[in-house]
Structure 1
Amino acid sequence: MNVWVTGMAWSTALGDGLAGVWRRLLDGHDGFEALPSEHPLRNPLAATVADPPAGMKPSARQRILAEGTLSRALADAGGPADAYPVLGTSFGALLDDEDGDLWQWAADVAAAVGLRRPPVAVSTACSSGSDAIAVGAAAIRSGAADVSVCGAADVVTPAKRLAHTALRTMSPTRLRAFDRRADGTLLGEGAGFVVLEREEAARARGAVPYAVLAGTGAANDGAGMTAPDPGGTGAELAARRCLASCGLTVEDVAVVNAHGSGTPANDSAESAALARLFGGCERPPVVFATKGALGHTLGATGALEAVAVVLALLDGRAPPIPGLDEVIEGFPLPVATGSASRLRPGAGLSLTLGFGGFITCLAFTPGQRHAH
């Protein structure tokens, strides 16, 4: 059963229009600015959205951010009725605002945009957005729904900045994914949602797809709470399961959106996984990563990067990786550096590695609809 992507929306530190943000990514822009803090941090930079404003309570900001982005995704798809909502986040605002819970946040957002079905709330650390999309696809393939709106939202909060300072996963300089000088990540915030539909239902109402969500795969390496397995075994397994789920091979993959968090441990593990996965590949895919532009948006990252992979497939280009000047030794695949890289026709993978060992891979093939 084919699952079509018929609507997309995102809110990022570079803006919220699909085409506009994509152009800025291709041009190598980033959204980092100094964000004041009353606490000592390793780095004052963060990639935050302009609206809602930073002075609001984190829980209110996250709710408004999710509602607006989800509404735009539904509108972009032509407003399909009775969508099955799947909403993801990491801790969301709960590290700082103790009122409410994650399911209630999802229920409030779904109700605010007029969705009648009770939502599924997904919280699997940094893979929450990817897992929300995978759950939405599973609902369609199981017959539980014809259409699902799925994705995630997350906001920068003082507790998250303090946590990454304490863990020393925050870069004291800048986020340089897969660069030999990489020394940590920088936080961002945003929201991304996609509308998934059963092909037959979408055709019946005249919808045109951005892409086909061809396959999904997941694994958990169980190596630790905050660090991946150094060998990248979980990431490799998730990607292999994803390809096997839809009958694609490594030779079919034209582009990979890597997790690319900029921490040496993560970049090394991901490099090892990609080396084994694509070793001997006659036409290796191009790798790109967006966290150096949008920040590490935690629970939202997988949803934002799914949108980025779809746009890369439709445009035939991958944006450069911000901050990448000297690729780490042994990185196995061509990377987009300096300027956008041309892509051959093929499929795209989005790979997400989360704290707690949560790893998810999504595979997309291009459709006929382009972003405006």
Structure 2
Amino acid sequence: MTHDVAVTGMAWTTALGTGLDEVWGQLLGGATGLRETESTLVLRNRLAAQVPDPPADWSPTRRQVGLTAATLRRAIEHAGAPPDTLPVIGTSYGPHLDEPSGDLRRWAAEATAAAGLTRPPLTVTSACSSGSDAIAAAARLIREGAAEACVCGGVDVLTPAKRLAHTALGTMSPTLLRSFDLRHDGTLLGEGAGFCVLERLDRARSRGAVVHAVMRGSGSSNDAATMTSPDLSGDGVLLAVRRALSDAGASADDVAVVNAHGSGTPVNDHVETVVLSRMFTGRRPVAFATKGAFGHTLGATGALEAIAVILALRESKVPPVYGLSEPAEDFPLPLPVGGPSEIGEGLGISVTLAFGGFNTCLVFARPVVGDVG
């Protein structure tokens, strides 16, 4: 027996703040949390989100635990969920590039305990798909009857080693993160956390919970191409999207809005352009991206973008893509430039691309009117 999965709680910590409606309003207004810094640790750019220059006594692990616990607590409170809700936590490197002796399970357990949760967490690490994969794994546990409710998502702290590593890889922009713009020249890093509470739809209804969305499906794949670059054909990403829509019992024509990965690197933007051109040959859903506002939050990005899709479905609009003024001519879908864009009826999907060839797609639907509360 499989179960429909409801989203009954959400919380995020972003470069723009923490309140769901507060941050969403800033996104609609075209704000960004990226800011200039004098940091000597950023070799190719002078922009960062959240933590431009950590103090001398700053600990990546302490920051990761605090960020995780605070966001988990707010997600649980938003859902009115009990403390025995199962945590499923994704991260990329978390604090481990800077403090390699750290233990993923240890800090995750510490964070969940600090948030008041009583069950030991499950942990997921699949680079920048970690947050999306944690949500997909939690939904699968619920659909197959292995769990009744999960709090799931991703978290990643911005550290000096990550900024140096991306500089060495040549992925950092010397100017600004401009997803799908003719002038795109790289990404910029941020930090953040995002968690959703998922539970069986019938359970949510029986306890009178507000249902913010229904998670209809997910799909994943791996390019098996290179350690850091996607397969330029887009075949792997396309497979993940098709698997997600098949899992949802839907087609491309059912999609109203796409949250693209939108990292701002020429290679990733090219691959997404290819994939979206091949995927949407009929209906043309509106596409948007949030990394220009939040920075690229690595293992948290898929969770933050899942929440953004749910809010877009709720409001029937998407925020403008920060930094986008001249969309690439070959981009196949409508993009919001300079202001919000309306979206129609249909599903919302979030697409995540990650180092190591990981690709993940999540599918969400608006709730039934009686479930919204």
Superposed pair shares fold, TM > 0.5: yes
- In the TM superposition, what is the alpha-carbon distance from 1:53 to its structure 2 partner? 8.2
Once the two structures are aligned, what percentage of the paired residues are identical?
59
Aligned to 2:61: 59
TM-score scaled to structure 1, two decimals? Answer: 0.96
Structure 1 gap segments, 5+ residues each: none
Deviation at residue 80 of structure 1 after TM alignment:
2.9
- Return closer, same or farther for 1:287/1:206 CA change in 2, 3 Å cut-off: same
Amino acid of the residue matched to residue 365 of structure 2?
Answer: T
Q: How many residues align?
A: 368
In structure 2, runs of 5+ residues without a counterpart are none
Please identify, of 199-208 and 188-197, the stretch whose mean Cα deviation from structure 2 is larger: 199-208
CA gap 1:312/1:299 in 2 versus in 1, 3 angstroms: same
Offset at residue 36 of structure 1 (A): 4.1
Q: Is the 8 A contact 1:47 1:295 kept in 2?
A: yes
The match for 1:173 is 175
* Within-5 A mapping of 1:19-30: 19-30=21-32
Query: Matches of 2:158 and 2:46 in 1, distance apart?
Result: 12
CA displacement 1:329-354 (0-9 Å, x = unmatched):
31111111111000101110000000
Q: Is 1:327 equivalent to 2:327 in the alignment?
A: yes
Bigger CA drift: 88-97 or 99-108?
99-108
Shift of 1:114: 2.4
Correspondence for 2:4: 2
In structure 2, distance between residues paired with 1:149 and 1:267: 31
SS at structure 1 position matched to 2:137: helix
Report the Cα distance in structure 2 between the residues aligned to 1:130 and 1:346, rounded to whole angstroms.
Answer: 21
Deviation at 1:270, TM superposition (A): 0.6
Q: Is the 8 A contact 2:212 2:310 kept in 1?
A: yes
Q: Contact 1:14–1:49 (CA<8 Å) still a contact in 2?
A: no
Q: Aligned residue for 2:238?
A: 236
Q: Which residue of 1 aligns with 2:138?
A: 136
Q: Deviations over 1:64-100 (max 9, x none)?
A: 0110000000000013342111001100011012332
1:68-79, aligned counterparts within 5 Å?
68-79=70-81
Which is worse superposed, 74-83 or 293-302?
A: 74-83
Matched position secondary structure for 1:87:
strand
The corresponding residue for 2:119 is 117
- The one-character-per-residue Cα deviations of 1:151-207 (angstroms, maximum 9, x if unpaired) are 111111100110111111000000000011100000011000000000111111111
Moved more, 116-125 or 250-259: 116-125
Secondary structure in 2 matching 1:125: coil
Asked whether the equivalents of residues 219 and 241 of structure 2 are also in contact (C-alpha less than 8 Å), the reply is yes
Separation in structure 2 between the aligned mates of residue 40 and residue 23 of structure 1, nearest angstrom: 30
Q: TM-score, normalised by structure 2?
A: 0.95
Q: CA–CA distance in 2 between the matches of 1:49 and 1:273?
A: 34
Q: Do residues 295 (structure 1) and 292 (structure 2) align?
A: no
- Distance in 1 (CA, whole Å) between partners of 2:51 and 2:219 is 30
Aligned-residue CA RMSD (Å): 1.7
Report if aligned partners of 1:53, 1:61 keep a CA contact under 8 Å in 2. no
Q: Tell me, in whole angstroms, the C-alpha distance in 2 between the residues paired with 1:299 and 1:41.
A: 22
> 8 Å contact 2:42–2:163 — kept in the other structure?
no
1:49 and 1:190 in contact (8 A); partners too: no
